[in-house]
Homo-oligomer: A and B are copies of this chain.
Amino acid sequence: MKRLSLIDSAFLMLESRETPMHVGGFNLFTLPEGANEQEFLHGLADNMRTADELQSPFGEKLKVGRLGMLGPLYWEPDNSLDLEYHIRHSALPKPGRFRELFALVSRLHGTLLDRNRPLWEMHLIEGLQDRQFAVYSKFHHAAIDGVRSIHLTQSMYSADPNERIHHSPLSMAARDRYLQALQLDAPSDEELRNVADRLKAAFDSSGHLLGALRRYAGAWTGNSPLVVPWQNVPRSTINTKVDGARRFVAQSWPFARIRAVGKAMDGTFNDAVLAMCAGALRIFLLNHGELPRESLKSMVPVSLRRPGDMESSNAVGAISADLATNIKDPIKRFRAIKASMEAGKAMFQDMSANEASLFLQLIQMPGLLLIPLGLGSRFPPYSTVISNVPGPRQPMYWNGARLEGIYPASIVTEGIALNITLVTYDTQVDFGIMACRRTLPQVQRFIDYLEDSLVELEEAAGISAPGAGATAKAKTRAKVKAGTKSKARSKAKTKAKSKAKPGPKTKAVAKTKAKTKAKTKVKAKAKTKARPKAKAKAKSRPKARPKMRASASA
């Protein structure tokens, strides 16, 4: 029996019907050529169920001691493991667009895991268009964190389209094979690019916890760019009580586009991601007429995981980033974000992993206590959470089915009704946006705002021709997303029509040859509600188009 760490236990203690504490997301695949959907999916499920010995956490359930949930908690093997329960077949109602997929994922993510069993579920989802299928999975955050889940993903899949895996991806054998591959293939660690990656190198140097705490304490009074939780966090729409229902949307952007912004502004990829999100939040708040005078703050989880560590369930720390949403100029906003991230990172620079972990537990503790008291929504420690998880940087396959995207689905908590998590995969960045359904019913508009924000940054950095932004914005609307009846949707229809002059039944497919470094092929679809029949093509600039790899049937 393994004892859970304090942080792992906290995810269980804080969980309520309104705030399920599981993470996950859906992976999107294209069926191998000639494969029959039903047979292929049943084959995958059967293969998963064949494991003799399961790698953690697939076969472990929670053991509560005599003191109940407030006492020490343990993982113990589930001797009556029922894999049929954990591995499930699901299907989308017709027409099987991403809209239907997002609706299903929103629902699946809104229900609690059964604590009498190992804390995970996996859903093989059929009924998508274009010979695609999806696998939604759900792990309790007490059992797994984002980086660990990417390790699991990598150990399940293969970079070789012709490889057929004969042992269950849930098995110890799959884990061993993967760990071996990690050792043999040193550069794969390079792929785990993350803000934390740089920190890791410093973790084992001698620590200065006292100094860090002093600096932290100083931030409450001084003029330091270091942002600390609860300090000047404004009230906004996204910082209210939440309920249990969720709304989920997802979209991909080319990695090269976002990195180019970071480079041009002398910052990191992660700085550019934060700036992109900050701009989107600013547009969202302006559109709702409620931009707070104080800037929004974001919790930015950083990985404290050492290279090759597949064992720890949660090796996550947190930096508070100032999103500078009160700054109109995108360049100044970028700089403010970058400065706050650097100040946050400096805090950890001199600490060992253990010290950092202890430090984070200390500074997060007031938050852990506020949530059960129901005060999280009145005193939110952050405005939102933006989490950047490094994924495999090459195309992956699962028994020949190409992995098209890794769309993460994370946690919404009391007072923080929005979570933006992204995974870098292959040449793209896959965003998964999770929101409280009641607080943010229009969360699908965020997809547009993220693109608008990226274009604004590109223009400010001088890496796109003037005027391209405006065109881009209009084009942006033409894509699959959760909200059909939004203005954006009808714009897409109009745009497609004006370009292509199709008949009364319209299906607009805008094709593009991507000229970016990422060499991605981009396709965006707009579908009218009335089951479109006719086709029309329109050219557009690739750079200005967010893409869901998903929607590319290439």
Contacts and interface: CB of A to CB of B under 8 A. Distances in A.
A94 B126 contact: yes
A93 B93 contact: no
B17 A114 contact: yes
Contact of A245 (B85, B91, B92): B85
A80 B438 contact: yes
A91 B107 CA distance: 14
Interface in A49-80: 80
Contact of A111 (B18, B92, B95, B112): B112
A38 B96 CA distance: 11
A535 interface: no
Interface residues of A, number: 37
A309 interface: no
B116 A438 contact: yes
Interface in A85-130: 85, 88-95, 100, 103-104, 107, 110-112, 114-117, 124, 126-127
A92 B91 contact: yes
Nearest to A100: B89
A292 interface: no
Given A89-B93, A100-B89, A117 B82 contact: no
Contacts of A94: 37-38, 91, 126
Given A38-B95, A80-B438, A17 B89 contact: no
A116 B82 contact: no
A244 B38 CA distance: 29
A140 interface: no
A481 interface: no
Given A117-B245, A245-B114, A93 B17 contact: no
Contacts of A93: 38, 41, 89-91, 124, 126-127
A171 to B, nearest CB: 22
Nearest to A92: B91
A464 to B, nearest CB: 38
Contacts of A127: 91, 93, 127
Contacts of A37: 94
Given A89-B93, A126-B93, A82 B114 contact: no
A22 interface: no
How would you classify the secondary structure of chain A's contact residues: helix, strand, loop or mixed? Answer: loop
A110 B438 CA distance: 23
A437 interface: yes
A373 to B, nearest CB: 14
A244 to B, nearest CB: 5
A529 B111 CA distance: 31
A269 to B, nearest CB: 37
A243 interface: yes
A183 to B, nearest CB: 39
A438 B89 CA distance: 19
A419 B148 CA distance: 41
A107 B117 CA distance: 15
Given A37-B94, A90-B93, A107-B88, A243 B114 contact: yes
Interface string A4-29: 00000000000001100000000000
Contacts of A112: 17, 111-112
A116 B244 contact: yes
Contact of A85 (B38, B124, B437): B437
A441 interface: yes
Contacts of A91: 90-94, 127
A439 to B, nearest CB: 11
A114 B244 contact: yes
A438 B78 CA distance: 12
Of A37, A117, A124, most B-chain CB atoms within 10 Å: A117
A111 B90 CA distance: 16
Nearest to A529: B42
Nearest to A41: B93
Given A37-B94, A93-B126, A243-B117, A438 B111 contact: no
Contacts of A244: 114, 116
Given A89-B93, A115-B17, A82 B243 contact: no
Given A41-B93, A90-B91, 16 more contacts: A17-B114, A37-B94, A82-B441, A88-B103, A89-B93, A89-B100, A90-B93, A91-B91, A91-B93, A91-B94, A93-B126, A110-B114, A111-B111, A114-B243, A114-B245, A117-B245
22 contacts: A17-B115, A18-B116, A38-B93, A38-B94, A80-B438, A85-B245, A85-B437, A88-B103, A88-B107, A89-B100, A90-B91, A90-B104, A91-B91, A91-B92, A91-B93, A91-B94, A93-B126, A94-B126, A111-B112, A114-B245, A117-B243, A117-B245
Q: Which 5 A-B pairs have the closest CB atoms?
A: A116-B243, A91-B91, A89-B93, A111-B111, A91-B93
